[in-house]
Amino acid sequence: MTPIRLAMVGGGPGAFIGPVHRMAAELDGRIRLVAGAFSRDPDKSAAAAEAWGARGYADWREMLAVEAARPDGAQAVAVVTPNHLHFPVCRAALEAGLHVMSDKPATLNLAEARELAGVVEKSGRLYGLTYTYTGYPMIREAREIVRRGDLGQVRKIVVEYPQGWLSRAIEREGAKQAEWRLDPALAGAGCIGDIGVHAFNLAEFVGGVRVERLCADVSTVVPGRPLDDDCNVLLRFENGARGVLIASQISAGARNGLKLQVYGETGGLTWSHERPSELTLDWLDGPTHVLHAASGYLSGPAQAASRIPTGHPEGFIEAFANLYRDFAAAIAEGRPDAGLVPGIGEGVRSMAFVETAVAASRDGQGWVTLEGALP
């Protein structure tokens, strides 16, 4: 298969996730980075382009115009900028006829996400959203276990995402990634939009049930911040299941401690990002089982998400690469959706989650319905 030609917006020198996207996209040889407007700073964009052997642009609008017109131009764009640019860049790329792989949150707010859903539909192009954790083999196994009904009906979902890196006001000490994440104009929401959306998506992806109502306590712990840094949300799912979602960036000492537990009538499963190649199954009437990635006894989707034999650790980059591999296959085959890769529907749902939880918490509304989410 001829590699799909990818362009990137963001991901310049010193950026966190752009380089991860590049490595992941190119990991299987099905995608090649050919162009980028990698930074607001033209010199930095040129430096990244040279380092990565891609065509560099000073401005993303110019890049889209030139690349869309070239016969060998980019076919897809990875959007890895701060959040405020997700909507304008995704919209312009789709309207220029390019497929889009965007990082989360989908947009700055729900209105933009809804508008983007219309643009995606009209464009006939693919839109993928990198909810990274959906790409892990044992998360895909967990999803299959729930879908098969091995646990019985889902009754309770607990998802926690503690980080500690914003325990001090480092956004006032020149930490760039903290600066924009705590600026309402650039980030839209705080911790809930940054990592709460991952937790929300994961609960629905694995649990196979949608959140219908919630009761949120979204707060700012470090004084002087205009956005939240700690979120505690009770959930009720459409099938009657109960849940708890915790997302926090002031959990001092925590690194990237995402953990998911799903309990059914006869047992529960636990997955932890710090041991991502394992999935623990606890049974009401039997011994605990620990499943390992890349084992022959796993489901097809889980086996397909590993590249090397069991016992050899794979992780974050490979999980991203699984999203890119599915995305590339869908483009090559001309399919209208990219299988397990989250799309704009998930984007709209999670922006509805963010807006509903923030407003309900601010106004002390207690339990509210999660309105405005696409099915």
Stretch that binds ligand NAD, among 6-14, 118-126, 155-163, 322-330 (CB under 6 A): 6-14
CB of 133 to ligand NAD, least distance (A): 8
Q: Which is nearer to ligand NAD, 47 or 234 (CB)?
A: 47
Which residue among 12, 128, 135, 345 contacts ligand NAD (CB under 6 A)?
Answer: 12
User: What is the token pair recorded at 201?
Assistant: 């998506």
CB distance 8 to 33 below 8 Å: yes
Which residue among 11, 88, 188, 196 contacts ligand NAD (CB under 6 A)?
Answer: 11
Which residue among 39, 248, 350, 361 contacts ligand NAD (CB under 6 A)?
Answer: 39
Residue 159 vs residues 134, 207, 232, 329: alpha-carbon distances, Å: 14, 11, 10, 31
Stretch that binds ligand NAD, among 15-23, 67-75, 294-302, 307-315 (CB under 6 A): 15-23
Write out the binding residues for ligand NAD, residues 40-59 only, by CB under 6 A. 40
What sign has the CA pseudo-torsion 228, 232, 236, 241?
Answer: positive
What sign has the CA pseudo-torsion 113, 114, 118, 121?
Answer: positive
Stretch that binds ligand NAD, among 148-156, 172-180, 223-231, 323-331 (CB under 6 A): 172-180
Q: How many chain residues bind ligand NAD (CB under 6 A)?
A: 25
CB distance 231 to 247 below 8 Å: yes
Q: Which is nearer to ligand NAD, 85 or 344 (CB)?
A: 85
Q: Comparing C-alpha atoms, which of 350, 318, 325, 351 is closest to residue 339?
A: 325
Q: Which is nearer to ligand NAD, 15 or 211 (CB)?
A: 15
Q: Comparing C-alpha atoms, which of 200, 197, 235 is closest to residue 215?
A: 235
Query: Is residue 60 a contact point for ligand NAD (CB under 6 A)?
Result: yes
User: Could you check whether the bond before residue 137 is cis, i.e. omega within 30 degrees of 0?
Assistant: no
CB distance 100 to 90 below 8 Å: yes
Q: Which is nearer to ligand NAD, 171 or 230 (CB)?
A: 171
- Site track for ligand NAD across 181-220, x = CB under 6 A: -------------x--------------------------
Which residue among 70, 147, 172, 176 contacts ligand NAD (CB under 6 A)?
Answer: 176
Stretch that binds ligand NAD, among 34-42, 134-142, 274-282, 290-298 (CB under 6 A): 34-42
CB of 194 to ligand NAD, least distance (A): 6
Residue 218 pairs in a beta bridge with: 231
Write out the binding residues for ligand NAD, residues 87-146 only, by CB under 6 A. 103-104, 130, 132
CB atoms within 10 A of CB 165: 17
**E strands present in the chain:** 4-10, 31-37, 55-56, 76-80, 99-102, 127-129, 156-162, 211-219, 230-237, 242-248, 259-263, 267-272, 278-283, 286-292, 367-369
Which residue among 4, 6, 7, 9 contacts ligand NAD (CB under 6 A)?
Answer: 9
CA-to-CA distance for 344 and 346, rounded, in angstroms? 5
User: What is the token pair recorded at 118?
Assistant: 């219309």
**Footprint of ligand NAD (CB under 6 A):** 9-12, 15-18, 37, 39-40, 60, 80-83, 85, 103-104, 130, 132, 176-177, 180, 194
